[in-house]
Amino acid sequence: MTGKDPGARTNTAAVRVRAAGDVDEGSLTYVREKVDAVLGRPGVPVVSGEVKISKAAAHRAEQPWSALAQLVVGNHLVVVQAQEATARELADRLQDRMHAQVNRTLHRGEEARRSATPPPWRGGRAVGERP
């Protein structure tokens, strides 16, 4: 039995990775793998959106590679930006930032549901008081 079911639907099917400028196919494939690693995890709801990778035409640019990801995770918009000197560094930085933003989005609802008990002067229970 394999870990991946070939017939299983992935969360990344609706995420489009596209290139602008002089981006080679190997770099684009590496970015796709990193995006799939973040969004293909269990527990991540259906994701749609776009990741745009671009390389500056100016050779003197210090960080010519840039990425912009605009994703809809569940009902929340996640926007991630990154700039790096090489395509691999860009993909790694994009993966780290996407992972952090998606985790923050997924756990945002849990924090909202766990509200603290109001203090006694606002109608909450006093310490040691039973409901």
Domains and CATH numbers, the chain: 11-109 (3.30.160.100)
The alpha-helical segments, DSSP class H, found in the chain are: 25-39, 87-113
Question: Strand pairing partners for 19?
Answer: 53
Q: Distances in Å between the alpha carbon of 18 and those of 6, 44, 68, 116?
A: 24, 22, 10, 44
Please tell me the pTM assigned to this model. 0.72
Closest to 68 (Cα-Cα) out of 121, 111, 106, 31: 31
- Candidates 110, 35, 103, 42; CA nearest to 70 is 35
pLDDT digits (tens, 9 = 90+) for 46-102: 899 999 999 988 777 788 899 999 999 988 899 999 999 999 999 999 999 999 999
pLDDT above 50 for 2: no
Closest CA to 28 of 38, 11, 16, 43: 16
For residue 74, the model assigns a pLDDT of 85
